[in-house]
Each structure stands twice: as structure tokens, then as C-alpha cells.
Amino acid sequence: MILKAKNHGLHFRPHFKTHQSAAIGEWFRDEGVKAITVSSVSMAEYFADHGWEDITIAFPLNLRELDEINRLATKIHLNLLLDSYQAASFLQHELKAEAGVFIEIDTGSKRSGIKASDLPGIEKIVETISQSSKTRFRGFLTHAGHTYQAKSKTEVLKIHEDSLNPMRSLKNHFAGLNAVISIGDTPACSLAEDFSGADEIRPGNFVFYDLMQADIGACSVEDVAVALACPVVASYPQRSEAVIYGGAIHLSKDFMKLPDGKISFGRIAKLNHLGWEVLPEGNEIVSISQEHGIAKLQAGFFNDFSTGGLLAVIPVHSCLTAQQQKHYHTFENDFKAMME
């Protein structure tokens, strides 16, 4: 991803919400990364405490965290995100130290952001930001999260294009302001080759990828770099199922539909001392409750797992699974440097 950003002349500001780990952050720092994205004020505080000095909080400004934001703004280069005159005006009056401000644009994900077509609205926000000596207008930011619903590479690229177009228009419209155009969902950053008009990408999930990204076509299942190791606690040969200590509180309840219409909460993999071997589709976590998971195994694989052993699960959504674990093991050593 670093190479891709470099090749397209893009500033690389990876999202750290997927791994939430200071230790993994160091791997990025070793590669020259200096600016990051996070999704909450507390995550910004955590990474600021670990030496990160240029952080964008890519989440709508939470007015209730003003004290924490003010503390951060005095300490690091902080960028905030907002999409309303009200929030801009609040910052204008309440911000104690200088912070950058991005205006969030809704390019179709229908979550947060102002529409690019609402030029009077955007102009009013830009004006408010510019009036204050504390808020520095940085540019326009979008998250085309609807690529996660895409079912093919073609569909991802179409959404990417449709999302980039209004951003380009804004760049032109506000040409005098030197606005940064910040984009970057993992599917588009993995698959697209046209980033013209964009200045910065912020992908995050690519650090691990997951089954959902593989399903979209952003990676292969073998690319997924994180798995949940679960103790096998019971085994039912008649059902060809094993029960694992690994449920909703470990994996999250995110699921995906398999081609046969059935639901999976994760693909089963076999651990070895160097890593893991992903089993073919059809070897899946078919049901989960709070702490139980039911692993459905195809005939040839049932005997690979026995009570007392470990079974690895490739997560449907690695961000949520990692967030629930709070620590990682590598095949070289353990580390627990993670946000809590």
C-alpha cells in the first residue's frame, strides 16, 4: 500500500483503527509513515502517547470531547472532521489550540458527510473555519464505505469513480484554498489504479484484510494476516462439528453469506508452527453465541481437530475481531501493545 501511494503520488495516512496497536504502528513507522488516521478521540490519545504527532480523527467531531480535543491539539498536529456549520462554529469558539479541519463529504455511503452538491452549505462551513485563527481548513475527506457492499472488482471501481468525481469538482471549485482531497477505503485502494484528483489515501483494513475483503475481491483468503486461535472444547463426529471457545465476544457477530446461501462467522484454518493453512470453503463457523462457536468441518478435515487442541478462525471482519481481543501473538513472539 505504501508503494501504491508512492506510485500515484499520494500522501499515505493509514487508518489505525483495524489494528489499534502501538507495536504494529512501529512497523509502519519503520517504513517511513509519519501521519495516521484514527476513528476516535481516545484512539488519537493512545497513538499520541506512543509518539504519533500527525493524526486525523476521521469521525464526526464529538462536541462532548472538547477537553480531550483541546489537550490533543496543544500536543500534536491534529485534524478534525465535521460536516456542519454548527460544528464549525462550535470549534471557532471553543478550540484552544490550532487544529486542522477536514469537511466530510458524503459521496454515496449515506452515513455522515455533507453532499458535494450542497455548495452553499460547504461554503458557509469553509468560511466559518477560515474566520478563526485556531481552525485551519485542510480540505475534503470522504469514506466510500459502500464499496464494502460491492460484489466484484468492477463494482468497487465504479463506486470509487463515482465517489472521486464529486471530490474532484470540489477541488476545482475551491481551487484557491489548496484543499487536500482525502479518500481511502481498503477495497478501492487495493483495486483501483486511477486516483487522479486525490491527494491522500487512508486505508486501514489492508493491514490484515479479512473474509469480507476476500469476498469483494480486494485480496485472497490466503492474504488474510490475522486469525483467532480458539480452543476446541467439544467434538461431535455425528454432526461433523466441533464446539470452540470463541464466540460473539471474540469474533464479533459479523457474518457473510456463502455462495450456497448459508451463513459463515469465519473460515476454519489449521495452525502449524509457521502460520496456518486455510481450509476450503465449506469449513466454516456456522453459529456463534456469547462464547461458543460451532465449527462445521467437511468429512476429510474433522479429525484434524480434537478437544484440547486449537482451531484457527479467519475472521469475517478483522477490525472487530482484533478490537475484541486487545492483544496479538505472532509466530515469533507475543505482544500486547494495544489500545485498551
Interface residues with a copy of itself (CB under 8 A) are 17, 39-40, 59-65, 83-84, 86-87, 90, 110-112, 145, 231, 233-235, 239, 243, 245, 248-249, 252-254, 287, 289-292, 294, 307-308, 319-320, 323-324
- Cβ-based nearer residue to a copy of itself, 137 or 265: 265
Q: Are 257 and 263 in contact (CB under 8 A)?
A: yes
d(CA 340, CA 338): 6
- Give the shortest CB-112-to-a copy of itself separation in angstroms: 5
- Cβ-based nearer residue to a copy of itself, 86 or 220: 86
Give 250's DSSP letter.
Answer: H
- Give the shortest CB-52-to-a copy of itself separation in angstroms: 19
- Give the shortest CB-65-to-a copy of itself separation in angstroms: 8
- Cell numbers placing 135: 481552525
DSSP 127-144: HHHHH-SSEEEEEEE---
- Give the shortest CB-306-to-a copy of itself separation in angstroms: 9
Integer distance in angstroms from the first to the last C-alpha of the chain? 27
- List CB contacts of 81: < 8 A, sequence separation 6 or more: 56, 57, 58, 59, 60, 61, 101, 102, 103, 104, 141
- Cβ-based nearer residue to a copy of itself, 94 or 161: 94
- Cβ-based nearer residue to a copy of itself, 34 or 253: 253
Among candidates 172, 167, 224, which has minimal Cα distance to 194?
167
What b/e sequence results for 217-252 when a residue is b if at least 16 CB atoms lie within 10 Å of its CB, and e otherwise?
bbbebeebebbbebebeebeeeeebbbbebbbebbb
- Give the shortest CB-145-to-a copy of itself separation in angstroms: 7
- Give the shortest CB-87-to-a copy of itself separation in angstroms: 7
Among candidates 38, 60, 61, 58, which has minimal Cα distance to 48?
38
- Cβ-based nearer residue to a copy of itself, 10 or 56: 56
- Cell numbers placing 152: 466484484
- Give the shortest CB-3-to-a copy of itself separation in angstroms: 26
Give 274's DSSP letter.
Answer: T
- Cβ-based nearer residue to a copy of itself, 34 or 326: 326
- Cβ-based nearer residue to a copy of itself, 64 or 273: 64
Which of left, alpha, beta for 32 (phi over 0: left; psi -120 to 50: alpha)?
left
